[in-house]
């Protein structure tokens, strides 16, 4: 395996260094405001920041180490997310082997991504998994709740494997356009998606009045949504020219797509949780909840941003 650290474009390293500056600032900030908070509130915040340290460190290592390491990292994210999903939804005893097939889609999908086989990457889950997984289910023969089972399994695959694998495909886009730095696109997408979550939260907390989608997510407001999208759009426009081949007007558009898409991804997983009557999808990431809680927005922003880039820069 070729170590890429020395080959990593300087802009990527500078950006990662910036992320660590933010982390250090956050760690100092929560200690400064500690006296104003009660203990459980501080504990939650502390865990949240600590989990960020761990997540960003693993993410940076994966990105800097080698392209293969990055691909394995995102495949692992898909696996953990799909497993979390299968663990919180109702499943049928008869479907153990069907679920196993669903898990098998992960290495295949990421292999297509690693090889840069755009066509197979795009159709493998929406076409082949869609056609073959029902076949596996039918050979087992359990028809009670068949529709529920087959739809929940496929939705899970689309959300946690198909969508997330678009982040991985960004890494090989440099084969389509030599101006593209794969890791730069991934950083742009991942950072803005997470930033958008925070921005929407802060705008909503400070200015939020009008509820935007009370039945699904009672704490979300129009002010939070619009403020968040505006901030993410601006920051997107600012970062785009450094990390991506986009000029600033295009980067503004990409930022807006991430802002709006992130919101929809977020509330989609909220709706799922509300239906299942659970607060968090898991407890893998202390202070955040489960991995699906963390990548909810990414399930929308990844394919949307990917196709924006592919359409305009990979022809």
Cβ-contact 192, 214 below 8 angstroms: no
Stretch that binds another protein, among 23-31, 91-99, 105-113, 174-182 (CB under 8 A): 91-99
Q: How far apart are CA 214 and CA 206, in angstroms?
A: 18
CB under 8 Å to 205, separation ≥6 — which residues?
Answer: 224
- The interface with another protein within residues 54-83 (CB under 8 A) comprises 80, 83
Cβ-contact 122, 312 below 8 angstroms: no
Please identify which residue in the block is written with the tokens 């880039």: 309
Could you say which of 10, 35, 40, 90 contacts another protein (CB under 8 A)?
90
The encoded tokens of residue 302 equal: 């990844």
Q: Does residue 96 touch another protein according to CB under 8 A?
A: yes
Cβ-contact 222, 206 below 8 angstroms: no
User: Closer CB to another protein, residue 87 or residue 115?
Assistant: 87
Could you say which of 17, 87, 155, 247 contacts another protein (CB under 8 A)?
87
Stretch that binds another protein, among 37-45, 86-94, 205-213, 233-241 (CB under 8 A): 86-94
User: Closer CB to another protein, residue 35 or residue 90?
Assistant: 90
User: Closer CB to another protein, residue 94 or residue 120?
Assistant: 94
User: Closer CB to another protein, residue 227 or residue 289?
Assistant: 289
Cβ-contact 313, 177 below 8 angstroms: yes
The encoded tokens of residue 154 equal: 């496929």
Q: Does residue 273 touch another protein according to CB under 8 A?
A: no
Q: How far apart are CA 92 and CA 82, in angstroms?
A: 16
Could you say which of 74, 84, 229, 231 contacts another protein (CB under 8 A)?
84
Q: Which residues bind another protein (CB under 8 A)?
A: 80, 83-84, 86-93, 96-97, 99-100, 103, 276-278, 282-284
């Amino acid at each position: 395996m070729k170590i890429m650290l020395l080959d990593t474009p300087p802009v990527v390293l500078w950006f990662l260094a910036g992320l660590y500056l933010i982390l250090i600032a956050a760690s100092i900030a929560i200690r400064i405001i500690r006296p104003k908070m009660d203990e459980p509130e501080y504990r939650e915040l502390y865990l949240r920041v600590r989990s960020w340290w761990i997540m960003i460190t693993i993410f940076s290592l994966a990105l800097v180490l080698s392209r293969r390491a990055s691909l394995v990292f995102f495949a692992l994210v898909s696996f953990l997310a799909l497993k979390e999903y299968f663990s919180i939804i109702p499943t049928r005893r008869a479907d153990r082997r069907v679920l196993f097939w669903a898990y098998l889609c992960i290495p295949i999908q990421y292999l297509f991504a690693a090889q840069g086989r755009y066509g197979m990457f795009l159709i493998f889950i929406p076409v082949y998994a869609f056609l073959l997984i029902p076949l596996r289910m039918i050979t087992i023969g359990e028809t009670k709740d068949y529709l529920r089972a087959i739809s929940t399994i496929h939705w899970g695959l689309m959300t946690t494997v198909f969508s997330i694998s678009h982040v991985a495909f960004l890494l090989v886009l440099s084969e389509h356009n030599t101006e593209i730095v794969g890791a730069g696109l991934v950083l742009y997408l991942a950072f803005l998606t997470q930033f958008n979550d925070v921005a929407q939260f802060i705008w909503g907390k400070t200015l939020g009045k009008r509820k935007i989608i009370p039945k699904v997510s009672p704490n979300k407001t129009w002010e939070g949504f619009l403020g968040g999208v505006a901030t993410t759009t601006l920051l997107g426009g600012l970062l785009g020219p450094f990390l991506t081949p986009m000029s600033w007007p295009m980067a503004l558009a990409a930022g807006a797509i991430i802002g709006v898409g992130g919101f929809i991804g977020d509330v989609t997983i909220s709706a799922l949780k509300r239906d299942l009557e659970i607060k968090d999808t898991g407890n893998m990431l202390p202070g955040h909840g489960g991995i699906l809680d963390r990548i909810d927005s990414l399930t929308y922003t990844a394919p949307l941003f990917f196709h924006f880039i592919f359409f305009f820069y990979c022809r």
